[in-house]
Amino acid sequence: MEIDRFKKQHVEILQGIATLRKLAHAGIEVNAREIARQVQALGSVITLHLAIEDRILYPSLQKGTDTGLAEMGKVYQEDMKGIASSFIAFARKWSVAKVVAEQAEAFRAEANTVLKVLHARMQRENTEFYPAIEAV
């Protein structure tokens, strides 16, 4: 199965997380507009990534002959539901510069939680899930 587009999107997602961290460290209030823009951009990439996974990747794994990989896909898909829900709520809340600037510490706390979980998930997919898919 060809998964290069998923890997490319992971790079974009991880770069987006890194950019948000840099902006937050440089000052949330002064970078509120760019932070909100980056949250929107990251949300777009993640939404597209999730849609493609749900429409193409996971169904393909379920139709395949490798039952272990099919089960792994189910576990990853189920796990992502909670992560996606948290990120979508995060993106809706923090995509407005005024809100980011007025609630800087709340943004920092929520970003640390949500983006840490998202980052860990991307790394797990990169080191476990995608190599398992490519091995088949």
Predicted local confidence at residue 72, as pLDDT: 97
CA 125/CA 119 separation, integer angstroms: 10
Q: Model-level pTM?
A: 0.92
SS3 94: coil
Radius of gyration of the chain (CA): 16
SS3 3: coil
Predicted local confidence at residue 57, as pLDDT: 95
Domain limits, the chain: 4-135
> 38 and 20 in contact (C-beta within 8 Å)?
yes
Burial call 73-86: b when 16+ CB within 10 Å, e when fewer: beebbeebeebbeb
Block means of pLDDT (10 residues each) for the chain, 136 residues, are 94 97 98 98 96 95 95 96 96 98 98 97 96 94
